[in-house]
Amino acid sequence: MTRRPGALIAVAVLAAAVLVSGLLFVGARLSWQRAALDTPVQRGRLIAERMGCFGCHGASGGQPIPNPGAKGGEVPGWTGGTWMMWNRDEHDLRAWIVRGRPEHREPDPGALIKMPAYGSRISTGETDDLVAYVLATSHFGTIDDEKAAAGHEAAYRLGCFGCHGPEGRGLVMNPGSFKGYVPPWDGADFAELVRDDAELRQWVENGICERLRDNPVARRVLESQAIKMPAYRGRVTDSELESIASYIAWVRTHPRTGARSSVGR
């Protein structure tokens, strides 16, 4: 049976609409990801990759390689107490990047692998971003809010930084999720997903907030994504929940910029 021209046109229009909608969503998703990547910390990560930093300091700066003859026996990593021994503040870190060492540090004559000086290879803005990334990765500095500091420790113990990135400022890709990544705590996505402390409590305790759980489309997306928010009910105390909320609020009002005028954390 031959289809009527009107029916064929309707099918063609529907197919075109589906195609256009799909293309628009893909375009929007790429735009969201570009925006999420356009922060000092994320730009700094890309610069670290481009400059070969991870070759010696290891993946994300946390797996340093051996350095025969060096005082510590290895290239300092960006995490843990060893890194803190090499840097008093972010100005020291900037000096390592730009000049290969701070002025108050004598060269390690026995070290086989020397820290390169990148001052002639990256711009001031790129240096700022790289400083911001290393500071975030190392969780460097003191948090001046006692409750927020306790929240940082609770988040560290619960493994939050594994998915939300260092200090909650990272960008971990998440196949099947609406925007394609785990939302960082310092981005616009957080405000869309968590409207208040009550919703944050729901996310932490139940792995989802009631508002999105009651939305069939949102619930389907959250259930189909590869990395799902764990439900911490029974594993986190009320006090820890309150302190984590304080820490996230602190992160959102204290961006890592790496700029010369910034004063640590």
CATH code at 228?
Answer: 1.10.760.10
Which DSSP letter does residue 177 get?
S
Name the domain boundary from 88, 121, 154.
121
Residue 265 has pLDDT above 50, yes or no: no
Give the pTM. 0.82
Question: Same structural domain for residues 248 and 150?
Answer: yes
Q: How many domains does the chain have?
A: 2
Name the domain boundary from 121, 156, 182.
121
- Residue 116, Cβ density class (10 Å: 0-12 exposed, 13-18 middle, ≥19 buried): middle
Question: Same structural domain for residues 170 and 214?
Answer: yes
- Nearest-10 Cα torsion for 57, 59, 62, 65: -40
Give the tens place of pLDDT for each residue, 16-55: 555 554 444 455 555 655 666 789 999 999 999 999 999 9
Name the domain boundary from 121, 138, 160.
121
Answer for the pair 169, 184: CB distance below 8 angstroms, yes or no: yes
The HSE-up count of residue 260 (CA atoms within 13 Å, CB side) is 5
Give the tens place of pLDDT for each residue, 208-234: 999 999 999 999 999 999 999 999 999
Residue 23: inside a domain = no
pLDDT the model gives residue 23: 45
Residue 85: inside a domain = yes
Question: Same structural domain for residues 72 and 171?
Answer: no
Q: Structural domain of residue 156, as residue ranges?
A: 146-253
Give the tens place of pLDDT for each residue, 131-174: 999 999 999 888 999 999 999 999 999 999 999 999 999 989 99
Question: Same structural domain for residues 105 and 166?
Answer: no
Report the pLDDT averaged over residues 92-119: 93
pLDDT the model gives residue 9: 67
